[in-house]
Structures are given as structure tokens and as C-alpha cells.
A and B are shown apart, each in its own frame.
Chain A
Amino acid sequence: MPDQLLFGMEVALNGLMAGVMYALVALGFVLIFKASGIFNYAQGVMALFAAMTLVGIQNGQVPFAHLINATFGTDIHHFGWEVPALLAILLTVVVMIAFAWMVNRFVFQHLVNQEPIILFMATIGLAFFLEGVADLMWGSEIKTLDVGLPQGINEYIDSATFEAFGYGFFIDNLDIVATIIAALLVAGLVAFSQYTKQGRALRAVADDHQAALSVGISLNFIWVLVWSIAGFVALVAGIMWGAKSGVQFSLSLIALKALPVLMLGGFTSIPGAIVGGLIIGVGEKLFEFLIGAPYLGGATENWFAYVLALVFLVFRPQGLFGEKIIERV
């Protein structure tokens, strides 16, 4: 096989893996949107916050140390202990649940029945708030996250493809792990919403708030639950992205990458988020490889996803798997 084609295949494969990462973030969006009609811009910052909290707990960092030192003239930084990865993850989940409760209590309880666009802007405000809090709490420097995930080139695929085609494919172990975890997560979420009582209540709320209320489902509880699950998904995404490229501010920008994924897949569909993620992941890598780098001067990955989503939307405004939008006066 010609080198160019093999190389293209490798690019496409890596794009698929990147797409899984996008889909992970997009999943969090879909969950909240389905259950509450809130388009949660803060999902990316939640991933950043979760990853920072995880690193902070792992290293035994004192929260708000910088602020405390500046205010009281003290000099504290670390508790002096290390928390094992699993326990740290559990503690982070607890923090994310507390966050979910507070978001519901202080923000969205007061915004029931507002227009969707107002809710969207509220989540932008929330994103700024959370980003500031995260930086104040754990410091804004770049951190490395290590929870014991395998990293580096997968030797097996490399040697197998080398024997078959005479060209070794470079696939990161981390991406393979991410794919497996994403698959497990989706399976878990689907099982949860199909087979548990809370899951059914969640779907009922998603269908019709009023009707769900009148059969005795607590809207508050469901919303806290949904935000907690979204927080958990954010944590998973944060761990994956953090392990891949370090925990830093740019992590919060993956939310912006997840938006076109959603538009393509449709806001209300979990399979849509996954398929959209894969399409965007492969599309932008291939576009960069075939057209962007040779003809347009590179860095087309910044906008390709948006333009693709935009062009696509003009022909199918509800996305691939979205519900048809019906409007009446």
C-alpha cells in the first residue's frame, strides 16, 4: 500500500480516538440538556475543576492556600500527605455532588421557567465563576495528573501493523483506555436510565416537567442527580484530557470543541453525541492532513468543526439524531 494512504489511515484512526474524547465531554451536555433543557456551557470548566480537584486532593494541597497566605501572611501549601488515586477520585466525586447541589440550590432553582437562552447565559456566568474559584482554590499553574493510566505508544498494534503493511501505526495507549472507559460509561448510563427507578424518573422529567411533578417526582432531586452525573462525566473527561495534556486552563476550552459535536449529533441524543464526536474527530484530522496543512497553512482544527456543523445545520437544523423541531404560534 502507498505510504500516503497508510499515513491517512493512521490519521483517521487517531481522529477516531480524539472523537471519543470529544464525545465524552458532549455526553455531559446531553445529560443536562435532556433532563432540564439547560444548555450547560460550564461543562468544560467542570471538567477542569474536577481534574484540578483530583490533583489537589492527590497531592494533599491546601485549598485556597494562595488566598489565605496573601490575606493572613501565613505560609501554608500542603498538608504533607498523599492520597491514593482511587480514594482521591471518590473524594472528587463527593465534591462534584456538593457542587451539583449548590448549583441547583443557588442558581437554577431560581431560574425555573425562564427562557432557555437566559439559562444558557447563566451557565456562562457559572463557567466564569467556577473557573475563578478553581484557580483560587488550587492555583493556576499547569499540573500533571497521574492516576496510573497507561500511556505511550501501543507496542502491540505498532508491531502487528508493521508486519502486515510494513508501516507501524502509532496509537496511544491512553486513547485506547479512554475509548474503553467511554464505552463503559455510555453502557452504564443507558442501563441506569433504562433499569433503575431514578433513571425512569429522569426520563419522565426530560419528557415533561409538569407531568413528572404531578405524579410525585421531585424535580429538585432529579436536577441535583443530573448535575451530579454530569459532574461525574466531567471528572472522567477531565481525567482523560488531564492525563493526555496536563491540567491547565485550555482544558476548559474543550467545551467549545464539544459544541459542534452536539450540533452535529443533536442536543438530545446520547448516540448522537458519540457519532458526532467521531465524525468531528475524524473529519478535522483528515481535513488538516489532506487540505489544511498542505494548502491552507495549517491550524484548521480551530474552526473546521464549527464550519462543518454550520454547513450541516443549514440542511438539517435539528442535527443527525435530534428530535424534529416543531413550532407553533
Chain B
Amino acid sequence: MLYREAGDFKTSYAKDNQTFPIKFDRWGYWVILIAAAFVVPFVVNDYWASALLVPFLIYAIAALGLNILTGYCGQVSLGTGGFMAVGAYASYKLMTAFPWMDMFTVTILSGFVTAAVGLLFGLPSLRIKGFYLAVATLAAQFFLVWLFNKVPWFYNYSASGQINAPEREVFGILVTGPNTQPWAEYTFCLIFVVALAWVARNLTRGTVGRKWMAIRDMDIAAEIIGVNPLRAKLSAFGVSSFFIGIAGALFFTVYLGAVEVGEAFGIQKSFLVLFMVIIGGLGSIFGSFAGAAFLVLLPVVLKVLGVDLLGWPTDIVAHLNLVIVGALIVFFLVVEPHGLAQLWRLTKEKLRLWPFPH
């Protein structure tokens, strides 16, 4: 009833090409956005912020970044953890070297630093593709983690080898450090998520995005029709690393506060983000959010069900988590390779026709 396009007239091309062509969707989008910006910060408590919302927002940024590279441009990357580490260490060095700099600038600059590193490791993608490239990005993963472990300059010669986020403010409100209010952490991340999702959406439906998709679908054909593979691939690597760098910076400064590189940004993180992209849906902005929400929620739900309700030991639940995630990956690839986003799309199609089958 509600979900109809009948009577929803468009009078210009711009309107026809908008992100949410159906009125109900458009309203839903604004309602969610307003609720996220003006309701959630007032009701959020420490548990919700640190267990669900903040990790969800940060992983959503990382998943968006990886989705640009893997979903839109077709370059599989297993180096996400390494690039997140670059973002984290860049923000740490900036915060300690320029204490007066505000956190927005710090985070965005960390994104640019990561983009530069990403471009460097993206260079081999011009010669090698597919699995070969996936392994090449593993080189980035292991090399970067090793580098941050071994070179004391990166962790300011601290004895433990850890990096700790000092307290920094935005407009007089504390956003990093141990004394931060949960709503401040949440709002700070939300601003980045909304801005970056908007950028990603508009990049992927413009010229740049179409070039990426042409490369993904068939790179040689794309080259013949005039897409420059060098620029398309490198821009995908750059933009993707920018997103992932910001996610890494937020992960360190806002979420964890203290980081040991091998633990926080190991290969497992790369796989986690890749799984978010696969489960959510390759080549879909909504899918990045859905995948991030799903994989952040799953361990929490399992813990509540297994440990709190059934009284199982935590290690069994952790192993079950692995089994379920693995099975889900396979399940999604078999049943719906385009992930949750495609399921959502199908639901919408059905709703538009409801109650008629055709």
C-alpha cells in the first residue's frame, strides 16, 4: 500500500536519476537520518555505543572503502587491515606532532596518507590481476604490520610498543581519550559515515564509478572503449584506501583508544571486512552497511544467546561464531552472490507489485 510508485511523477532527468526514486524510500531515508542524528545521541548509553553503534559505523566506512575497490572495480584486496593500520598510525603521529590540530583535520589527513600508501600498493594491479593481486595485497598487509611493529618512530619510542590516543576536542567536546561521552563518539563517527557514504554513492554513479565497473566487468573491453585502466584502477585504490584509512583512524582514536598493531590490524581484520562486503553485497552502498551491521551484531547476539541464556563457555560460542560466519559466507555465495543488498532489492520488487504476483 505504502510502497508504490504510482502517482509519484518525475518531471526532470535529475529527479528520475535520484538515489531513492520512490517517495516512501526517500522519506524512510530522511527519517533514519534524522533519528540517527537527533534521537540516538540523546538515548545512547555506554554499552550500546561501544558494543554496537560505534563499531558498526566504523566498519561501515571500511566496508564502503573495500566495496569501492572489490565490488565496484573488481580488484580483490586482502590488505584492508594493513591500510587501517596506516590510518591509525598516521592519526597518532599527527595528533602527537600537532597537538593543536582538530580531530576532523587529523582524521581526513590520515585518510590522505593512507590513500598515498594505497596508491603505492595498487601499482602492481596494472600488471597482475585476480588471485595474484589478492596475494600482492597480502604483501601490503604483512609488510605494513611489520613496519609499525619494528620502527619505533611510529609509536613514538614508547616502551610497550602500543599507541595511545591522547585527549582531543572538537568544538570544545571531547571525542578521543578515556573520558569521552558515548554520544560524542557516536556523533563524531556518524558525521564521517554520512559524509563518506554520500561521496561514495555519488562517485559510483558518476563517470568515475562507471569506469570502475567497466574495468570490473571486462577490463580489456573497457580499455578498448577508452577507459584508461591505469587511472581507473589507481583511482579505485586511492579512494578505497582513503575510506579505509579514515576507518582505521576512527577505530584507533575514537573506538579503541589504545592499539597494538598486530592484534588490532592483523589479517583477521582484512577477512572480517571482506566478509562484510560479501555478505552485504558486492557493488552496493547499502550492502556495505548491511554487511557491517550483520557481522557486528552476530557475535553480540551469539554471546547473549549462548553465554547469557544457555550458559555455554565463551570459547564454544567463539568457535560457533566461526562456524556460522563460514557457513553463511558459503551459503550467501551459493544462494545469493549479491548478498543482503540483493535480498533487500528483491523484497522491494515484491512490495512494489504486492498484492499481485506479476
Residues of A whose CB lies within 8 Å of any CB of B are: 39, 66-67, 70-71, 106-107, 110-111, 114, 116-118, 120-122, 124-133, 135-136, 140, 256, 259-260, 262-263, 267, 296-300, 302-303, 306-307, 309-310, 313-314, 317, 327-329
- What's the least CB distance linking B219 to chain A, in Å? 8
Check A66 against B220 for contact (C-beta < 8 Å). no
Q: Which chain B residues border A300 with CB–CB below 8 Å?
A: 146
Are B337 and A39 touching (Cβ within 8 A)?
no
Chain B residues with Cβ below 8 Å from A130 are 326
Known: A129-B323, A296-B150, A317-B128. A310 touches B329 (CB 8 A): no
How far, in angstroms, from A259 to B151 measured CA to CA in the complex? Answer: 27
Select from chain B the residue with minimum beta-carbon distance to A120.
B131
Q: How many residues of B contact A (CB 8 A)?
A: 50
Q: 17 A-B pairs, CB-CB below 8 angstroms?
A: A66-B313, A66-B315, A107-B334, A110-B334, A111-B334, A128-B325, A128-B329, A129-B325, A129-B329, A131-B322, A140-B315, A140-B319, A306-B138, A313-B127, A317-B128, A329-B221, A329-B224
Residues of B within 8 A of A39 (CB): 131
Highest count of chain A CB atoms <10 Å: which of B149, B319, B337: B319
A70 touches B333 (CB 8 A): no
Is B39 interfacial (CB 8 A cutoff)?
no
Rounded to whole Å, the gap between the CB of B69 and the closest CB of chain A is: 13
Given contacts A125-B328, A128-B322, 8 further A-B contacts (CB under 8 A): A121-B333, A129-B325, A129-B330, A132-B326, A133-B323, A140-B319, A313-B128, A329-B218
Quote the shortest CB–CB distance from B353 to chain A (angstroms). Answer: 28
Partner of A329, one of B142, B220, B278: B220
Among the listed B76, B130, B150, B220, which residue makes an inter-chain contact with A297, where contact means beta carbons less than 8 Å apart? Answer: B150
Most buried by A among B130, B145, B224, B267: B130
Q: Which residues of B contact A106 (CB under 8 A)?
A: 330
Q: Give CA–CA (A41, B74) in the complex, Å.
A: 19
Do residues B330 and A132 form an inter-chain contact, with CB atoms below 8 A?
no
Q: How far is the CA of A309 from the CA of B146 in the complex (A)?
A: 17
Q: Which residues from 266 to 324 on chain B have a C-beta closer than 8 Å to any C-beta of chain A?
A: 267, 271, 274-275, 278, 310-313, 315-316, 319-324
CA distance A328 to B313 in the complex (A): 55
Contact B330 A118 (CB under 8 A): no
**CA of A314 to CA of B129, assembled, Å:** 11
B205-225 vs A, Cβ < 8 Å mask (1 yes, 0 no)? 000000000000010110010
Q: Which A residues are in CB contact (< 8 Å) with B131?
A: 39, 116-117, 120, 267
A67 to B76, CA, bound (A): 36
- Does B48 touch A at the CB level, under 8 Å? no
**In the assembled complex, how far is the CB of residue B57 from the closest CB belonging to chain A, in whole angstroms?**
24
Q: Determine if B312 and A70 form an interchain contact, defined as CB atoms under 8 angstroms apart.
A: yes
Quick one: which of A117, A124, A314, A328 contacts B127, CB cutoff 8 A? Answer: A314
